[in-house]
Amino acid sequence: MLDSLSPELKSYLLPLDFFYESKDIPKPSIEAIDAESLPQSERALLDHDRDMTSTLMKHHNSELYIEVLERVFNDNYLLRMVVLKSKIKNSPVEFGAIGMDLNLFDSDIRNEIEQGVKPLGGLLEQYSVPYKSGPRAFFKIICDELISSLLQVPEGVNLYGRCNEISNSEGFTLADIVEILPVETIR
């Protein structure tokens, strides 16, 4: 997203970059950081090898649902921009951009993914899909107008996120995800 980012991090940010490019709006400032540099509360929510759905459900003591903001199908690849929300408070707990290879999912879970009602992490658990979740990178992002409106936080604040890979038992990438937490999530 910025010239100063490594090619590797730029590749991990592609799902998010895609939606900024499609909207033809300036990309927010992003800085790569290591896990040890994350503030303690953000680190607890980002630096782990679990899916974010279950982590955020436990943190907020609430079931989550997704609001799909945009989706694009390219052959059997689905890109979508979403906000995860708490069912109890109906408030955002994460903004994300995700790319998924639909060929790697059985038809039942694939149909639910395409419907866009339940978060991917919840569907993986519901359908007992064996998977591995692994953060590839962590970053600090300056909240821009788009993210501010979606996460209901002020523009200009520092938010934290991760680029995560969900892979199947054969090691194929099911999903590449960019996940950004709102300030409210970490209080």
Q: How many CB atoms lie within 10 A of CB 27?
A: 16
Q: What percent of the chain has pLDDT over 90?
A: 90
**What does the pLDDT look like over 23-53, one tens digit per residue?**
999 999 999 999 999 999 899 999 999 889 9
Query: In a 3-state reduction of DSSP, which class is residue 28?
Result: coil
Which CATH architecture is the domain 7-186 placed in? Answer: 3-Layer(aba) Sandwich (3.40)
Q: Which two tokens stand for residue 71?
A: 């989706």
Q: What mean pLDDT is reported for the chain? A: 93
| Prediction pTM value | 0.93
**What does the pLDDT look like over 94-127, one tens digit per residue?**
999 999 999 999 999 999 999 999 999 999 999 9
